[in-house]
Chain A
């Protein structure tokens, strides 16, 4: 151990700036510039704009309550009965009141139908619709949409919980800019104290959603409205005739709305808490599905946004390009970096590894502390996470990267997502055949 430390200190002494860049270009080019400098810069711009826009926002809020449009809240799902009563009760306490609640039971085999019917009879739910045969998430959401009467549609997950002003805050962006077609809510981790893996996901969500989406939204390249909490203009959704089959239908519908020429916004103050997988094993399953859908939807179904054609839009191009670049390309580039280091810098590999860990961890600390200052409302105390931050480099840099690699390879080479039991086989067959 002592020898290792001596060795490392000697390594640092001999390090020249040229060598430093040669050995850590991956960190500098991608992590430092993209995820630290650029992001921090834009985040500040976004915050300034938010501050400047306060009167405009207040005006939008006022107009929302004057117009008081009917808002349809769609809650599709299977075997979600146990969550519904609590969710519906909390929805009734929302600051925005003119809502109708439509619950679609997608072939549940538990007591969801009984619960749903009784809540409908008690008029706590506007409509409880049940399909005896499961049709998949998209079909359930589409059924709810078909019978929704609201001017705006909010899509929720039954097992999430929402701040009391969440509906109000997710609706305001529509009144600030009439070209907004969809708004994504801010999803945080509810069970962040449950296990190490949930704590790490909480930090990840904070980085990629709370911070990351504020940045992409400001840049106009925000690309995924979470199914857990998203709001849409009803006319736009009706025009698109709803969601296509998933997995990844959240990102898919967002791209389709963008293609129609509408803007997508992120509402950082529309807070939603969700429960995340509590073991590394469960998390792998979830991420394999998500990561496969990136290939399937970005690179296959919506590859047209990458090429100049009649419907080409610059921001849509950037949105997809940035996504593919930083996730898919970079993911493989990392293996290149790893190979180079192992081949040409083999004797120094341990030192390079330690330096990378330190660099990333230091960056994580700086980012976390600085960004935390921007959090208006905290669902978890910031200091709780500080101890766990050093794990992030392994979680993000190794664990998630390996999972992602497997997912991309599976999807690129075998189109595995069409076999995902998340969708009933009867629908997957058609999706595969149509290449969507």
Chain B
């Protein structure tokens, strides 16, 4: 997943139109898309396409519905069409004074956004399906259309979904859509078939004819000549002489006269310049331009690209909350449900009113969770979460509890412990987690952020949690 924060400090301008605030982002300005939380919509000055794509992508890829659901408008002087950006954006205007005409749309999106229910699933797949059906529902769209796209790693892009993946992980969008279809959220129809590298799932392949023995494409074709009088058969080079460009038979030394009369060319033979193998039938190999794998086309993964339609069940899931049956990670051993955690927190605050003492709640947040999970898939994700819980469990007391607030945020309690000591324990955990991840997963970079909030019995449990989870999603 794209890293959502590219914050370099400069902040877009806010334009008030009617009852709504628009965030206006000028061409090439450094922008924090998090600003969008406080706006109803965003207007991007569309001069440089790459820039627009970058900004639009980072909005739609953001994990927070407060950001990714917001309408995106383009300010562009001409009516040029750019397929990918046009799907990511909701509409365009020629100048800022036209923004007023967009107000009904902004209003509709805002009110439909209110109808949505988000169930915090730990499963990455469920999160993404929730996201895509929310985007569709809010915009009253029914179809997820694959767009042929040069920069896509699998040649087709599902703009609203594929933005969530790194280039190399794009094929996982197909898996997400499949899971959605299995759950009855989507139905689909065939659009095209692509062939993907069996190693890295890239669709950027170079096809060429190669030597069947050594796979080299450095080959030279030659006509085969049959000399009738003596029966000699060999490639044309056998017949050429040093003096003129006439052909002489190497067996009987006669000069070849007329094709069809004293000789013919019954076939063509290819000679490999690398291994000297001669052959008539090439192999066709596909070289992956991403990972360099060079193998027979038979090894490629034939993958269907389909058009997906949101079903009634899909629409309902957007409103009522998605319960996925296929890939949900319902419980990780050693944890309690987040609701139970909240109840226990309430009791702890009540207890503190009567007794003196210091209790804390903590959060460990994976700041790049979408990047991490998009690389892992749900099986490995479950494994990773289990490992994290085991490590945390080993560092806190048995009376303390652990819960998942979301797939990226783990909350835990540290009761009857001074905040200072709690902090020390908490801050030691990320290092242990990093060591563990290094042994279990190659080349996986996980970033953690830890927070501790000391309980204050004058405040409600809601306020405590808000403080603890501010900005985490």
Binding site for B on A (CB under 8 A): 107, 117, 120-121, 127-133, 135-136, 138-140, 142-143, 146-147, 241-245, 426-427, 429-431, 433-434
Contact = CB atoms under 8 A, between A and B. Distances in A.
Contact of B266 (A107, A120, A242, A243): A107
B278 interface: yes
B231 A129 contact: no
Contacts of A130: 267, 280
A242 B249 CA distance: 13
Nearest to A429: B228
A344 B299 CA distance: 85
A135 B278 contact: no
B229 interface: yes
Contacts of B230: 241, 244-245
Contacts of B229: 427, 430-431, 433-434
Q: Which of B230, B231, B232, B269 has the most CB of A within 10 A?
A: B231
A142 B231 contact: yes
Given A138-B231, A243-B231, A430-B262, A143 B250 contact: no
Interface in B195-250: 212, 224, 226, 228-235, 238, 250
Given A131-B224, A427-B229, 15 more contacts: A121-B281, A121-B283, A127-B278, A129-B280, A130-B267, A135-B233, A139-B226, A143-B224, A146-B238, A245-B231, A426-B228, A427-B228, A427-B231, A430-B229, A434-B229
A129 B212 contact: no
19 contacts: A121-B212, A128-B281, A131-B226, A133-B266, A138-B231, A139-B226, A142-B231, A143-B226, A143-B234, A241-B230, A242-B231, A242-B232, A244-B230, A245-B230, A245-B231, A429-B228, A430-B229, A430-B262, A434-B229
Given A431-B229, A434-B229, A132 B281 contact: no
Contacts of B261: 426
A241 B232 contact: yes
A120 B281 contact: yes
A241 B253 CA distance: 11
Contacts of B212: 120-121
Interface in B264-293: 264, 266-267, 269, 278-281, 283
Nearest to A133: B266
A117 B269 CA distance: 14
A241 B281 CA distance: 25
B397 interface: no
A363 B226 CA distance: 50
Interface of B: 212, 224, 226, 228-235, 238, 250-251, 260-262, 264, 266-267, 269, 278-281, 283
Contact of A244 (B231, B269, B280): B231
B266 A135 contact: yes
A410 B226 CA distance: 29
Contacts of B235: 146
Contacts of B283: 121
A139 B267 contact: no
Contacts of B234: 142-143, 146
Contact of A132 (B231, B250, B266): B266
A130 B279 CA distance: 10
A242 B278 CA distance: 19
A129 B277 CA distance: 12
B228 A430 contact: yes
B266 A117 contact: no
Given A129-B269, A131-B267, A132-B267, A139 B231 contact: yes
Contacts of B264: 133, 135, 426
Contacts of B224: 131, 143
A188 B223 CA distance: 39
A242 B252 CA distance: 11
A138 B230 CA distance: 9
A434 B238 CA distance: 23
B279 A127 contact: yes
Q: Which of B230, B250, B261 has the most CB of A within 10 A?
A: B230
